[in-house]
């Protein structure tokens, strides 16, 4: 019942959007790193954590602390990512009036409860109230105190990440539209072409289901891992965090990744690219007919670009639901087997 062309088409479209969303994310990260926009936004966020002028003064000290300064690419840059542990350690270093002392809970208590000492190390009343709350929860445990700071920082960064994404929507849309127009990723055309060749559609969906199954066996997480696309296979790279201590990624590497994603999608049997089969035929058409076809083409590309803005995590989650639905409709003898130990997935070419 559930193993139908509609489900196959939904899987094919979702995987197309998922793959291209990864490409959009790669290009956006490259542009952000090139302009250091993420680093500037992160610094502004840290300066405004408590909406307190005194906190801004501490923020300047935090950025000069070795635990954060070591994350810079060079002396004139700002780190685009600061781990919670580095932030907490840098903040706790502010309690050291004498830089050579070993920090303990007694020292922290003395600073937080003595106006004179607190003023001397630059901790204002507003910050003291926050840290006193963490001190009480820590119950005399220095590591627990640091954990309280890390939790506070992570919570603030989660909120800031949402704001940053919303602020980046225009850039993401421009990137998405550029990719879709360059590769002619037209949702309307894809639906029409695959629906008219349902044997190709089923073959494509079978291959993509095998790919998704292997990704899940490799415990792929779209929020922390990355995928390296080959001509006919993909490889999961675990915990592929951006290394902020390195220079901006090589533009050739970014271009190569974009190209391989396009090649992989094309090789999967999904009709993209500016080929004669995917381009409107205007010869012999009236002006009205030609204009209508052009508008349909623009609408198809625009629809794809809007879909990419939902992001890879959204589409991967939807893909898994579709695969589960599709597998539920298969007979036992139709279920295919997949490799269990490989970290790569090979896609059979169509044709």
Same domain, 198 and 306: yes
Same domain, 46 and 190: no
Q: What is the mean pLDDT of residues 29-50?
A: 77
What does the pLDDT read at residue 99?
64
Q: What is the mean pLDDT of residues 119-145?
A: 84
Same domain, 113 and 145: yes
Tokens describing residue 23? 């490409």
**Domain final residue pick, 167, 202, 234:** 167
What does the pLDDT read at residue 142?
92
Same domain, 114 and 198: no
Query: Above pLDDT 70, what percent of the chain?
Result: 84
* pLDDT of 68 over the 50 cut: yes
Which of 114-123, 126-135, 144-153, 257-266 is least confident? 114-123
> Is 178 contained in some domain?
no
Same domain, 153 and 163: yes
d(CA 300, CA 53) in angstroms, rounded, equals 50
Same domain, 51 and 137: yes
* pLDDT of 331 over the 60 cut: no
Number of domains in the chain: 2
Same domain, 18 and 138: no
* pLDDT of 166 over the 80 cut: no
Burial call 83-110: b when 16+ CB within 10 Å, e when fewer: bbebbbbbbbbbbeeeeeeeeeeebbee
Same domain, 207 and 263: yes
- Residues 167-170: contacts with CB under 8 Å, at least 24 apart: 167/41, 168/28, 168/32, 169/309
User: In terms of residue numbers, what domain contains 228?
Assistant: 5-35+184-346
Which of 38-42, 172-176, 275-279 is least confident? 38-42
* pLDDT of 26 over the 80 cut: yes
Same domain, 326 and 274: yes
Question: What does residue 346 show for φ and ψ, rounded to 5 degrees?
Answer: -100, 130
Nearest to 293 by CA among 189, 190, 196: 189
What does the pLDDT read at residue 100?
66
Same domain, 127 and 269: no
Length of the chain: 351
Same domain, 25 and 70: no
pLDDT tens digits for range 285-326:
888 888 999 999 999 999 999 999 999 999 999 999 999 988
pLDDT confidence band for 48 (50 / 70 / 90): confident
* pLDDT of 40 over the 50 cut: yes
> Is 54 contained in some domain?
yes
Same domain, 295 and 193: yes
């Amino acid at each position: 019942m559930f193993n139908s062309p509609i489900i196959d088409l939904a899987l094919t479209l979702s995987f197309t959007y998922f793959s291209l969303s990864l490409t959009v994310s790669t290009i956006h990260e490259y542009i952000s790193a090139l302009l250091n926009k993420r680093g500037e936004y992160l610094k502004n966020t840290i300066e405004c954590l408590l909406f307190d002028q005194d906190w801004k003064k501490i923020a300047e000290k935090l950025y000069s602390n070795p635990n954060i300064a070591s994350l810079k690419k060079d002396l004139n840059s700002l780190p685009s990512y600061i781990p919670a542990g580095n932030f907490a350690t840098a903040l706790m270093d502010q309690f050291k009036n004498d830089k050579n002392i070993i920090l303990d809970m007694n020292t922290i208590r003395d600073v937080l409860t003595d106006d004179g000492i607190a003023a001397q190390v630059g901790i204002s009343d507003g910050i003291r109230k926050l840290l006193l709350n963490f001190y009480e929860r820590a119950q005399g445990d220095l590591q627990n105190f640091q954990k309280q700071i890390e939790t506070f920082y992570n919570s603030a960064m989660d909120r800031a990440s949402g704001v940053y994404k919303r602020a980046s929507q225009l850039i993401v849309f421009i990137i998405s539209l550029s990719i879709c127009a360059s590769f002619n990723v037209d949702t309307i055309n894809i639906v029409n072409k695959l629906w008219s060749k349902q044997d190709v559609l089923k073959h494509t969906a079978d291959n993509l289901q095998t790919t998704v199954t292997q990704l899940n066996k490799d415990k792929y997480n779209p929020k922390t891992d990355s995928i390296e696309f080959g001509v006919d296979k993909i490889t999961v790279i675990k915990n592929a965090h951006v290394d902020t201590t390195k220079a901006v990624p090589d533009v050739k590497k970014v271009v190569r990744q974009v190209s391989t994603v396009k090649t992989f999608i094309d090789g999967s049997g999904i009709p993209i690219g500016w080929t004669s089969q995917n381009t409107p035929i205007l010869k012999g058409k009236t002006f009205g007919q030609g204009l209508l076809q052009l508008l349909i083409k623009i609408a198809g590309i625009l629809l794809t670009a809007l879909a990419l803005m939902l992001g890879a995590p959204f589409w991967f989650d939807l893909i898994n639901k579709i695969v589960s639905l599709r597998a539920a409709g298969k007979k036992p003898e139709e279920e295919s087997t997949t490799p269990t130990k490989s970290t790569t997935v090979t896609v059979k070419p169509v044709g």
